[in-house]
Structure 1
Amino acid sequence: MKRIVMLAGLCAVLCHSSCTSKKEEKEEAGSFTVTSPMVLDTSITKDYVSQIKSVRNIEIRALEKGFLQNIYVDEGQTVKAGQLLFRIVPKMYEAEMQKSAAEVRASEIELQNTRLLADKNVVSKNELAMANAKLDQAKAELSLAKFHLSATEIRAPFDGTIDRIPKKLGSLIDEGELLTSLSDNGQMFAYFNVSEPEYLDYKTNVSGRGSNKVNLLLANNQLFQSKGDVETIESEFDSETGNIAFRAKFPNPDQLLKNGETGKVRMSVPLKNAMIIPQKATYEIQDKIYAFVIGKDNVVHSREITIGSKIPDLYIVSSGISEHDKILLEGVQKVKDDDKIEYKFVAPKEVISQLQLKAE
């Protein structure tokens, strides 16, 4: 009987020891690295999908009807202002010009004879005035015929690059029919849409937004060699998207950019007193971001935070924590709410210096 009592007592001691060990293990989950948010001035870059347009891009159309007699350029060719591009031959306008020229000569002879008769008082001065008017009318008709004929020679209005030429030699061309397009690619416009909040930040934060210089990310994910300038903003928001269009101009000395190309305008946005934390100090549940904050008695509590922007390895936090909070840096996946931990505090400056950051 005495032996049974001793065994029961031993079991109770062992059970109490085991329970105490588990309790202590729950209270102290282990040793972790802890830091705090850091507040500093930095900058972020934002990419905006853009459409690239030539500074000047026009359609070259026929002014008169006729047969396409000559094509003096090729697709993709660079041309100079005034260079002859096409010639259209309308037989009707050639005949009209010859007829108008003959009428001018006839009117000049008639005026000369009328003047001789008027000098001898054979005809009145009114008849002389009518002869003058008839000559003026003939000259006007000749000028009009010459214009119609000259319009059959299509010339480049400015320096540029020829686009596709859909018509071939000998084609019958109607008045107003498209012959080609001409693009001036010396400088290019990049149009990109900005949301209403971003537009308001841009317009109201004049001193803090930095320069108007922007970069252009091409379709192959390479940066365009030259920077552009934000020149203008359209006057109205798009009622469907809630966006407003910005326009930046880029120099294009090597003619790399073409009309209709796509890319992304990359704008640098400076941030004053931004509160940043390492991304690895957070975790995500159902599209929400959380961090563990160390409370009293070294107990951790999860807290939802709002992310304003992202930069390499870092989050810029809008709300949810303050710069005086201590947050768990390492072992986020190893703890849960109300765990008590031991930790080593590492200064945020030291933590961030080991991450990728472009800060002022």
Structure 2
Amino acid sequence: MLVTKRMKNWMTVIGGLFALTAFLSGCTDSVASNGMQAPPPQALPVFAVHPAEAATNDEYTASLEGTRNVDIRPQVDGYLVRIYQDEGAFVHKGQPLFQIDDKVYQSQLDNAKANLLSAKAAQENAQINVNKLTPLVSGGVVSDVQLKTAQASLDAAKAGVAQAEALVTSAQINVGYTTVAAPVDGYLGRIPFKTGSLVGKNDAQALTVLSQVDEVYAYFSMSEKQFLDFKNRYKGATVEEKLRQIPPVQLVLADGSVYAQTGKVETVEGQFDRTLGSIPFRVTFPNPNGLLRSGNTGRVRIPGPQSSVLVVPQESTFEMQDKVLAFTVGDSNKVAMRPLTVSGRSGNYYLVSGGLKDGDKVVYTGLDRLKDGAVIVPQVISLDSLLKASPL
């Protein structure tokens, strides 16, 4: 009887353990099952693409230069004793920039002036002899040979005076050269020399470069095909006439902003660069506030004709391996990455010539949270409303 009770107790304990294990296992399975549930689809804005009238802008990489970039070089040798202006300063024509020690040249000037005084004294003495002999020759007291000799001495004295005057002028010029002044208005570049440096007119390196930038030149190049397109696009019998037909162009700066002033394409070189296979153009931009400097880079944007093209906001695209892509929405609201063929830009939009067709649905924003094949909940918006808020 005792054995039977013990067996019943053990059976009860074992049954309880099985029940507890089953309960804990069920809880674990429930947590695991809940943890593996997929998140709900994202709700993202989607628009349908359609053609719109847009101007196709052609852009060319450009480098900027001042209308005049002048190397400032010394005309005499000597030590720099003063640098009047700092690098980057705006200076006016005639304003002093550098001072070279003038002691040697001032001494040469003083010596030249003394020689001039001596030459003038010799000329005066020779003139006295001529004046003295002239009446004596007329009276037959002395021969005319003596008068001719005296006249020759006077002529030599006059030549000596002229030579001395030239030496004085040369010495004065050299003294003037010791003050190096600005030949034009403009901005100073880097100054590689310091006070006490020995400088000379045969130095390979200039004292500085002075850039006149009230206007700037933007140089860009066209390939042979682009040049032929340019000639076919604009009316005119000559290249000069075609240049006059190009509308005002824009300058896109290195940070992507557009320079406030428009420019004019003025000249094109006479021949192609055989190495690069391109021909350079020059655009002139006003620069009244001096915001542009020599050495800047940017892109010259030439507006093209209006045409009907598919447009996609740039914020609806992303780049991968030098390709521009967008997410399109297909069946079952699944998204797919699609590469785009971009033919140009207009405002904040890409002009798309391939990769999309009229009516295709494109995800507007939230691309950083998407993967190829993901399912979304489309929130349809109108492309026209986007174009109205941010025109082409």
Q: TM-score when scaled to structure 1?
A: 0.67
- Cα distance change of structure 1 residues 74 and 159 upon mapping to structure 2, 3 Å threshold: same
How far the C-alpha of 1:211 sits from its partner, in A, is 3.8
CA shift in 2, pair 1:244/1:352, >3 Å: farther
Determine which of 190, 200, 204 is the counterpart of 1:164: 190
* Counterparts of 1:236 and 1:115, CA distance in 2: 67
CA contact (8 A) 2:113 2:168 kept: yes
- The higher radius of gyration belongs to 2
Please give the residue correspondences for 1:154-193 in structure 2 after superposition, counting only pairs within 5 Å: 154-177=180-203, 178-193=206-221
Please say which of residues 209-218 and 137-146 is displaced more in the overlay: 209-218
| 1:224 lines up with 2:259 in the alignment | yes
Quick one: structure 1 residues 110 and 239, their matched pair in 2 at CA, closer, same or farther if it must change by over 3 Å? Answer: same
Q: What's 2:118 paired with?
A: 106
Identity across matched positions, percent: 31
Match of residue 93 from structure 2: 81
Q: In the alignment, what sits opposite 1:246?
A: 281
Question: Which is richer in helix?
Answer: 2
Kindly state the Cα deviation for residue 123 of structure 1 after the two structures are TM-superposed.
4.5
For residues 167 and 361 of structure 2, the distance between their equivalents in structure 1, rounded to whole angstroms, comes to 92
Post-superposition CA distance 1:305-356 (Å, at most 9, x none): x986566365348xxxxxxxxx773489xxxxxxxxxxxxxxxxxx985775
Q: How does 1:37-52 map to 2 (within 5 A)?
A: 42-52=54-64
Kindly tell me the number of residue pairs found equivalent between the two proteins.
278
From 43, 65, 71, give the equivalent of 2:77.
Answer: 65
114-123 or 209-218, which moves further after superposition?
209-218
Q: 1:119 offset after TM fit, Å?
A: 0.8
8 A Cα contact 2:342 2:351, kept in partner? no
Question: Contact between 2:54 and 2:309, CA under 8 Å: does it hold in 1?
Answer: no
**Which residue, 104, 127, 130 being the options, matches 1:115?**
127
Q: Write the letter of the residue equivalent to 2:55.
A: S
**1:340 aligned partner:** none
Structure 1: any 5+ residue segments left out of the alignment?
A: 1-34, 281-286, 288-305, 318-326, 333-350
Structure 1 distance, partners of 2:214, 2:66, is 8
**How far apart in 1 are the matches of 2:197 and 2:360?**
75
2:165 is matched with 139
C-alpha offsets along residues 22-66 of structure 1, whole Å, 9 cap, x if unaligned? xxxxxxxxxxxxx9x97x975201221110111111111111111
CA distance in 2, matches of 1:313, 1:166: 46
* Structure 1 CA distance for aligned equivalents of residues 358 and 115 of structure 2: 99
The one-letter amino acid of 1:137's match is Q
Equivalent in the alignment of 2:359: 329
Is the partner of 1:87 in helix, strand or coil?
Answer: strand
Query: Any unmatched runs of 5+ in structure 2?
Result: 1-47, 134-145, 236-241, 314-322, 324-340, 363-381
| TM-aligned CA deviation for residue 97 of structure 1 | 1.6
CA RMSD of aligned residues (A): 3.6
The equivalent position to 1:204 in structure 2, one of 232, 235, 240, is: 232
Residue in structure 2 matched with residue 268 of structure 1 by the alignment: 303
Deviations 1:63-115 (A, max 9, x none): 11111122211112111111111111144322222221111100101111110
User: 2:67 aligned with 1:55, yes or no?
Assistant: yes
Q: Per the alignment, in what secondary structure is the counterpart of residue 120 of structure 1?
A: helix
Q: Is the 8 A contact 1:64 1:176 kept in 2?
A: no
Amino acid at match of 2:121: I
TM-score of the superposition, structure 2-length normalised? 0.62
Kindly state the Cα deviation for residue 250 of structure 1 after the two structures are TM-superposed.
0.8
